[in-house]
Amino acid sequence: METHIILVVGSILLSGGCIGLLIVRFTNPFFQGVGWLGASFACGALAAAVFAVVVDQGNGFFLLLADALILLAFVFLHVCFLELSGRESIIPRLGIALLIAQALSYFFYLHAHELRQLSVVTLGLLVAVQVGESALLLKKTNQKGMDAPVWFNIALLLGFAVFNLVRSAMVLVVGTPTNPQLPNPLEATAAVVFLGAAIGLGFGVFWMEGHQIRLKLEHLASIDPLTGIYNRRSFIALCEKELLRTSRSGEVFSLIMFDLDHFKAINDRYGHRFGDVVLCEVVEKLRNSVRNIDIVGRWGGEEFVVLLPNADAEAALIVAHRLQYHVDSISMASPRARGMEGENRITVTLSTGVATYFGHDPTITIHDLLHECDSAMYQAKAEGRDRIVSVNAPLVLVR
C-alpha cells in the first residue's frame, strides 16, 4: 500500500512539473531542452500512474508498458542534454535501440512465469545504460564555467545507474513478492529513488540553463557585435589582469593600437555598410597576424588594439609590421564599380602605435600604457600616416 501511495503522489508531482516545464518552454525561447525535460516528466507521470494500477492488478501488459514509459523518460532526458550541449543532431540513437530491445523483450517475457522479476531486471539494466550515456555526454561537452551544474548531474546520473544495477542484482537474488498486495520495501525504495532522481535532474537541468544563459550574456557583453573581437571594456579588463601578473613576475608585454587611415572617406563615399565590410576584413587580417595567446579588441570606430603577452618592444614591432603587411594586401572592389572594366580598388593603410611594459613598476597603470600607445599612434598620423611608431624603440617603420 505504501508503494501505491508513493506512485500516486509521484504521478501528481511529475504531472505538475510537466505542465510547468512546458509553460516555461513556450514562454521563454532562451531555455533550451526544457520541452524535452517536460516530455520526460510526462512519461514518468504516466509510468507512475500505470504502476499504481499494476500494484493492485498485476497486469502483465501494463507492467511492460510502464517499464517502456520509464525508459522513454530517460531517453527524452538524454535528448534534453543533447540540446543543451548544442549538438547539431539530437537523435538518441542508443536510446532508440534500447527502446526497441525493450519492445522485443515484451514478446519474450509475455508468457514467462517470473514476468515481474524479468521486467525489473531488464528495465534496471537498460536505464543504467541510458543514464550512463547521458553522464558521458555531459562530461564530453562540459564547457568552461559549467563545472558545478554539470558534475552535479553526472553524479546524480551515475548514482542512479548504480542503484538500478544493484536493484536488478537484488531482484535476481531474492525475487519479487508473489502477492502484489504485500508490502515490498525494495519497490517502495525504488519508487522514492526514481521520483527523487526526476526532481534532482530537473533541478540540475535548470541549474545548467541558468549557467548557460549567464555565460551567453557575459559573452555578448564582452564581444564587439560587428567584428566578434573583444570590446573596449573587456579588453581593458584583460590588460589589467596581464599587468597584475607581469608586475609580480617581472615579465614584459606590449600593446599595439592602430587606426585605419582615411576611413571616414570610405564611409562617406561608399556608405557605412561597405565600411563595416572593410572593418571585418581588417580584423580577419589582424587575426592572421597575431599568436593564439594574443588578445585583440576594438577600441572604438576604426581603432583597434592588441595585447601581446611576453612580447618585448622588438617582438611587438615585428607583429605590427606583419599586420601592416597583411592589411596592405587588402584590395576590395568599389561597390559602385563592381563588374566594370578598370574598376576602382579600395586599399587600406594603418597608423600604428606600440608601447611596452617591462615589469616591476607599480606606478604604471594600464591606462598609462594605453595613453602612450595612443600618443604613438597619433604621432604616426601626424608624420604622414601609414607607419609604425614605437614608444620604447627608436624606430619608425614606413611602408
DSSP structure string for 81-131: HHHHTT-S----HHHHHHHHHHHHHHHHHTT-TTHHHHHHHHHHHHHHHHH
pLDDT band at 106 (very low <50, low <70, confident <90, very high): confident
* Res 178 pLDDT > 70: no
- What is the pLDDT, as a whole number, of residue 161? 95
- What is the pLDDT, as a whole number, of residue 176? 62
Residues 6 or more apart in contact with residue 278 via CB below 8 angstroms: 260, 263, 266, 330, 332, 346, 348
Query: Residue 387: which H helix or E strand, with range?
Result: strand 387-390
The CA distance from 370 to 366, in Å, is 6
- What is the pLDDT, as a whole number, of residue 185? 77
| Residue 69 grid cell | 514509459
Say if CB 75 and CB 55 are below 8 A apart. Answer: no
Among the listed ranges 112-126, 173-187, 279-293, 345-359, which one has the minimum average pLDDT value?
A: 173-187
pLDDT band at 342 (very low <50, low <70, confident <90, very high): very low
Every domain of the chain and the residues it spans: 2-219, 232-398
Say if CB 389 and CB 376 are below 8 A apart. Answer: yes
Query: Residue 309: which H helix or E strand, with range?
Result: strand 303-309
The CA distance from 251 to 310, in Å, is 6
As a whole number, mean pLDDT of residues 9-28 equals: 87
- What is the pLDDT, as a whole number, of residue 398? 46
Phi, psi of 271 (to 5 degrees): 95, 155
* Res 396 pLDDT > 50: no
Report the alpha-carbon angle 276-282-287, nearest 5. Answer: 125
Residues 6 or more apart in contact with residue 18 via CB below 8 angstroms: 38, 39, 41, 42, 45
What type of residue sits at position 207? W
| Residue 290 grid cell | 597575431
Residues 6 or more apart in contact with residue 5 via CB below 8 angstroms: none
Higher pLDDT, 210 or 153: 153
As a whole number, mean pLDDT of residues 166-190 equals: 72
Query: What is the DSSP secondary structure assignment for residue 397, as one 8-state letter?
Result: E
- What is the pLDDT, as a whole number, of residue 389? 93
Taking the CA atoms of residue 336, residue 340, residue 341 and residue 347 in that order, the dihedral angle to the nearest 10 degrees is 30
- What is the pLDDT, as a whole number, of residue 367? 93
Say if CB 326 and CB 288 are below 8 A apart. Answer: yes
Over residues 81-101, the pLDDT tens digits come to: 999 888 888 999 999 999 999
pLDDT band at 177 (very low <50, low <70, confident <90, very high): low
**CA 293 to each of CA 219, 232, 289, 290: distance values in angstroms, whole numbers, following the listed order:** 18, 18, 12, 8
pLDDT band at 55 (very low <50, low <70, confident <90, very high): low
CATH number of 232-398, picked from 3.40.50.970, 3.90.1150.10, 3.30.70.370, 3.30.70.270: 3.30.70.270
Q: Taking phi first (over 0 means left), then psi (-120 to 50 degrees means alpha), and beta for anything else, what does residue 175 get?
A: left
Among the listed ranges 2-6, 11-15, 257-261, which one has the minimum average pLDDT value?
A: 2-6
pTM: 0.74
As a whole number, mean pLDDT of residues 111-136 equals: 86
The CA distance from 48 to 69, in Å, is 9
As a whole number, mean pLDDT of residues 19-39 equals: 86
What type of residue sits at position 202? G
What is the share, in percent, of the chain residues with pLDDT greater than 90?
53
Over residues 236-266, the pLDDT tens digits come to: 999 999 999 998 888 999 999 999 999 999 9
- What is the pLDDT, as a whole number, of residue 171? 84
Report the alpha-carbon angle 122-67-91, nearest 5. Answer: 90
Q: Which residues pair with 116 in a beta bridge?
A: none
Most confident of 188-197, 223-232, 384-393: 223-232
